[in-house]
Amino acid sequence: MTVIRSIIVLGIAVFGLAVPSHANLLQNGSFEFGTFVPDVNDSMSLSVGATDMAGWTVVANSLAWIGPSNPFGLSASEGSYFLDLSGYHDNAPYAGVTQTIPTTIGGQYQLSLDIGTSPPYDSAPVSVLVTAGSASTTFTSTPLNVNQWETFTFDFIATSLSTSISLTGQASTDEKYIGLDNVSVVPIPEPGTFALFGGSGLLALVGWRRFRKA
């Protein structure tokens, strides 16, 4: 029984090694870090060109960087801080953020983000335009619940050694809240990667079992 238990434990460990994990290539994807100087609403208005949020630059228009003690009935989807791309002006053009990451030419990547909406502030769907180098797409979220967060993913292939990631708010009508949080970019493993590691792990496990029997 002890031998069988050991085999199971070793198998779990090997399987864990077989699953490749990748760190977020974006710095500060949940907007937790930087020089946050809150106003009375535990928010900070950032103008175009601002770099107060570690890793990010504000583009297109001003936005609101919102903290956990805000009075708006809103909270982050990840961590304690999040963005409102409508800022305090609450109309188009809406704000965005940008950051450049290192990439491998021909490499496949997946971008993930959370869009926030809330019926007290949004009367219609809001969107975020996502741009990764020359690739782009638009994600739209319809406000159904208070402090609602919806996750979207976007796959792209890098065409250079660095890729600019931009996320910009959009809406067809004047809306008071376009939330953004929990942004990440991770490499997508090559199709044979898991099989390679998994096969090696299986061979190691079989070899260990034979050694034990001997």
Pick the closest to residue 158 from 98, 111, 96 (CA basis): 111
Q: Which two tokens stand for residue 13?
A: 């460990």
Assess contact for 193 and 201: CB atoms under 8 A.
Answer: no
Tell me the per-residue pLDDT of 11-39, one tens digit each, with 9 for 90 and over: 434 334 444 457 999 999 999 999 999 99
Pick the closest to residue 66 from 48, 42, 37, 86 (CA basis): 42
Three-class DSSP category at 200? helix
Residue 1 has pLDDT above 90, yes or no: no
pLDDT number for residue 193: 52
Neighbours of 120 (CB within 10 A): 13
pTM of the model: 0.82
Q: What is the mean pLDDT of residues 99-125?
A: 98
Q: What is the mean pLDDT of residues 196-207?
A: 43
What span, in angstroms and rounded, lies between the C-alpha atoms of 31 and 44? 12
- Give the side-chain half-sphere CA count within 13 A for 168: 19
Tell me the per-residue pLDDT of 156-199, one tens digit each, with 9 for 90 and over: 999 999 999 999 999 999 999 999 999 999 999 877 654 444 54
